[in-house]
Amino acid sequence: MTGSLLKFSIQSEDKHSLARVGKIETDHSIIETPVFMPVGTHGVVKSLSPNDLYEMNTEIMLANTYHLYLRPGTDIIEKNGGLHQFMNWSNSILTDSGGYQVFSLSNMNKITDNGVDFKSHLDGSMHFFTPETSMEVQRKLGSDIIMAFDYCPSADCSNKELKRASRLTEDWTRRAYEYLNDQSPLYGHNQTLFPIIQGGIDKEERLKCLDQMLPFATCGIAIGGLSVGEKKAPMFDIVNVLGSHMPKDQPRYLMGVGKPTDIVKSILSGVDMFDCVLPTRNARNGQIFTHEGSINILNSQYKDDTSPIDKKSSVVFAQEHSKSYLRHLFKVNEMFGIRIATLMNIAYYFDLINEIKFEINNNSFVKWSEDYLKRYDR
């Protein structure tokens, strides 16, 4: 495999839940957990620069294998010296496998035991992704954490399809692991593979898939296939069951789940890592996470609201500018409005995570989470 693997250590554990504070060390950065990873689908967090992310102490971000494979193409990124150089980003990067995007094109793909034929959403060109293809693309991207190529079934799939997804996920993860073991790093830094647990909302199938992933989970493991249309209660049942069974000495990553209240609940179950497009996508649509609750800045009530957007925000713009001004920027389609909203939403998530770490360290997280969820979990 590509060099030695990342290091993970637990710094403190909550006495009343499965929550913990930890530290991940890659060749590019030290990442304190729990951690929220902003999503830079195309190699950029929309409207923000690397310096913006550095100033918010962003230790790791996520990029999308599928989209970067199609455009600009991995050969171009390799010529630039990998994704870190291409983006001018010196901290850690996690890339997904491309599997979720490929499977979301359900009317444009064909799944076989060997891999997936799919049609590009950009130009209709045909492509074939195998576990080996996904690993080679991510190897050329040069991400610090590589996700295994998995089969993400839909929330309403049949039991037969669910079992097929688990079977192919096991086979494809083994192939990905073996492929990486035969490769050397391209850019002089190490890359670590995270296998992904599938199984829908079937607890037995999830635990079976977890057991199948353990031989490949040397330095981290992920929960995939949730927040894809299932109801919240069974989703959290699965997270809680897996939190009690996943390796304790490795970081645990819950893929694509990103509502603030969902993050709080999942940390109670022992999850360490999160990503989601929600804070950045919602920012572009005018939804702002503030310390007084979520607001839609486009609502007419903010037209003449001269109060600060969020006086408790760590973003200076939120303290200096009024809700009325931000609404005006959105109404006239000024990019500065999207930039303020994006900075605020990511900062809110980071502030939330920092508050959670403080509460875990003080063994007060359970009581704090009860108060937080009572206030915001609607």
DSSP code per residue over 80-123: TTSHHHHHT--SEEEE--SHHHHHH-GGGEEE-SS-EEEE-TTT
Per-residue pLDDT tens over the stretch 212-239: 999 999 999 999 999 888 999 999 999 9
258: phi then psi, degrees, rounded to nearest 5: -145, 10
pLDDT at 378 over 90: no
Residues 199, 255 within the same domain: yes
Which residues are tagged catalytic? 96, 275
pLDDT digits (tens, 9 = 90+) for 326-351: 999 999 999 999 999 999 999 999 99
- Same domain? For 114 and 213 the reply is yes
Burial class (CB in 10 A: 0-12, 13-18, 19+), 69: buried
Alpha carbons 59 and 36: distance in angstroms, whole number: 9
Whether residue 353 sits in one domain with residue 236: no
Q: What's the rounded mean pLDDT across residues 91-113?
A: 86
Does residue 2 belong to any structural domain of this protein? no
Residues 196 and 266 in one domain: yes
User: Within this chain, do residues 249 and 267 fall inside the same structural domain, yes or no?
Assistant: yes
The whole-chain average pLDDT of the chain stands at: 96
Residue-range definition of the domain harbouring residue 319: 283-367
210 and 68 share one domain: yes
Q: How many domains does the chain have?
A: 2
Do 74 and 94 lie in a common domain? yes
Q: Are residues 27 and 128 in the same domain?
A: yes
Per the rule left: phi > 0, alpha: psi between -120 and 50, beta: everything else, 293 is left
pLDDT at 361 over 90: yes
